[in-house]
Structure 1
Amino acid sequence: MQSKIDGTTLPVLSIRLEPGEKLFAETGELSWKTPNVMLRTTTSGAGASGFLGVMSRALAGGGIFMTEFSAEGGPGMVSFAAKIPGHIVEHTVDGGGSYMIHRHGYIAGTDGVRLELGFQRRLGAGIFGGDGFRLQRVSGYGRFWTTLGGEIVSYDLAPGEQLDVHPGHVGMFEERVNFDITMLPGIRNKLFGGDGFFMARLTGPGRIWLQTLTMPNLAHALAPYLGSEAVTDVAEAGGIGAAASLIGRIFE
């Protein structure tokens, strides 16, 4: 299985499949393919087994169903285009570690990669982390691809080293990194600072990937170019749906 990422601001992931190879992707991610690549909608993809496994993946943002891609009669190609400005990155899991990804970050993975809900180790992170609570946990064996918004800034945290990050900018991190929520200091900062009440505190050791573009920030930047009624309508969609609706209305 060979992969190629083309483009810059709105990249495209193209994967060459040989007969017998399988690729599992989120439903709705397909952009184009060769005719000999077959699709099969299934609930058992990405390592899910049984009802609880499927629900765990769905709660993490992966959905109840996955799409299985395979090539018949010769090599084939399937492509996935980014839905927002950002980057697509390839990763590998070998059974010795796992990753936590923001809930819209996972695109696709090879057979043997497991996708499920990533539970927070601390109650505060779950209650106040916003989208940080709905993390996707990726483990198993194989290769997988993620999409992060805007530019990607990565850090290798030493043991005990900490970084405070707005929860929406946390794109991905190794599971061994501790994720907790801390409050901003000072009443004036909380009420008038415009940065919210809470920050995600990431503690090493481990590698983290931060994204510079968040969906709320993108929607907020586009809002002045739309009428108030349009902003109200698309705000109810939330996340990527809101941003896509805003962009669509601009070009109507």
Structure 2
Amino acid sequence: MRATITGTTLPVLQIELAAGEKVIAGPDQLSWLMGPVEMNTTTSTAGSSGLWGAVTRAISGGGLFMTEFEARGGAGVVAFAAQIPGTIHEVQVDGGRSYMVHHHGFLCASAGVELGTGVQQSLGAGIFGGEGFVLQKLSGRCTAWVELGGETVIHELQAGQSMLVHPGHIGMFEDSVHFEMTTVRGVKNMMFGGDGLFLARLSGPGKVWLQTLTAPKLAHALAPYMPKAER
């Protein structure tokens, strides 16, 4: 298996599969394919062997169904394009470390990937914290690719070091990083700050990937230029 990421603002991931190799992605991620590549859409993949596992994966944004792309009888190519301007990152998941990924960050992975729901916060703060509440848990033994919006800023947090982040700008972090929602201090900040009532506190040790663009903010910026429905 060989992967190539082409482009800058709207990159595309192309994966060359040798005969018998397989890659797993969401059913709406495929951009194009070449060669004898067969598709199999199923709930029983990405670490899920039953309906409940598929449901928990879907809650985190991974989808109830996943599609397996397998090269049969020869080499093939599968491509996945970014859905918003941003970057695509390759992640080596070795079984001893897992990652928490933002709601729609998982792009695809080789066989051996396990996708689930990573929840590390109390229910009340999670509901009001928006995007920071439900995170995908990426684990297993595989090579995975994650899509982040805009540019990517990486921080290596040391033990005892922490940072406050708007939940939507959290792209991915190692499972050694502690995550919790905190309230914004000050009445004026909460009422007029424009960033909601909650920020996420990320505490080390571990690596954090932050994304500079979120889908809601992109949609908000484009809204004035979209045609209005006639009444």
TM-score of the aligned structures, taking structure 1 as reference length: 0.88
Could you give the per-residue CA deviations for residues 87-125 of structure 1, whole angstroms, max 9, x where no partner exists?
001001111110000110001111111011112244455
Cα pair distance change 1:187/1:228, threshold 3 Å: farther
2:132 alignment partner in structure 1: 132
Matched letter for residue 56 of structure 1: T
Q: 3-state DSSP class of the match of 1:31?
A: strand
Matched letter for residue 68 of structure 2: E
**Is this contact kept in 2: 1:90–1:144, CA < 8 A?**
yes
| Residue correspondence of structure 1 range 67-146 to structure 2 within 5 A | 67-146=67-146
Distance 2:90 2:41 in 1: 23
Distance 2:72 2:49 in 1: 26
2:219 alignment partner in structure 1: 219
2:194 alignment partner in structure 1: 194
Q: 3-state DSSP class of the match of 2:127?
A: helix
**Is this contact kept in 1: 2:60–2:135, CA < 8 A?**
yes
Could you give the per-residue CA deviations for residues 127-183 of structure 1, whole angstroms, max 9, x where no partner exists?
332111121001110100010000000100001111000000001111111111111
Distance 2:165 2:218 in 1: 18
| Residue correspondence of structure 1 range 147-162 to structure 2 within 5 A | 147-162=147-162
Larger helix share, 1 or 2: 1
Q: CA deviation at 1:40?
A: 0.8
Aligned-residue identity in percent:
56
Note if 1:204 corresponds to 2:204: yes
Q: Give the RMSD, CA atoms, in angstroms.
A: 1.3
Distance 1:175 1:227 in 2: 43
Distance 1:227 1:32 in 2: 30
Larger mean Cα displacement after TM superposition, 125-134 or 107-116: 125-134
Q: Point out where structure 2 has 5 or more consecutive residues left out of the alignment.
A: none
1:250 alignment partner in structure 2: none
Structure 1 runs of 4+ with >6 Å offset: none
TM-score of the aligned structures, taking structure 2 as reference length: 0.95
**Is this contact kept in 2: 1:128–1:181, CA < 8 A?**
no
1:236 alignment partner in structure 2: none
Q: CA deviation at 1:126?
A: 2.3
Larger strand share, 1 or 2: 2
Q: CA deviation at 1:19?
A: 0.9
Distance 2:71 2:180 in 1: 43
